[in-house]
Amino acid sequence: MNRSARLLKVNSLGQASMNAVAAIRTQDTAGGDVRLTALERGLLGEALRLLADTRARALQLTTEFSRRQGIAAPDVHDFQLPTIVDLQRRFSEQETPLVE
């Protein structure tokens, strides 16, 4: 598998994680009360951290690849990093910490 294919795979896996988080967010904004157990909060916190790390690394790799090819580098928004950071911030502001 070449580098571009691996980066697409990483992006696809991360998108699935983002969709799962969005589903939780949709339930919450629809007026439902989303209550997570300590285990669920811990898993969500870990998933967001890993997703952010993976996306940041993918951004670094594609930026390096783009530089070498002489083409425009991707933006943090291409990897949804601001959204991931926002979700991390929002979950960390809950009364109970993400990881206990």
Name the domain count of the chain.
1
- Residue 97 is assigned to a structural domain of this protein: no
55 assigned to some structural domain: yes
SS (H, E, C) the chain: CCHHHHHHHHHHHHHHHHHHHHHHHHHHHCCCCCCCCHHHHHHHHHHHHHHHHHHHHHHHHHHHHHHHHCCCCCCHHHHCHHHHHHHHHHHHCCCCCCCC
Instruction: Output the pTM of the full model.
Output: 0.61
Q: pLDDT of 12-41, one tens digit each?
A: 555 655 555 545 554 555 555 667 888 988
Domain that holds residue 57: 3-92
Q: Residue 20 falls within a domain, yes or no?
A: yes
Residue 76 falls inside a structural domain: yes
Chain segment 39-56, per-residue pLDDT in tens: 988 899 999 999 999 999
Specify if 98 maps to a domain.
no
On whether residue 28 sits in a domain, the answer given is yes
46 assigned to some structural domain = yes
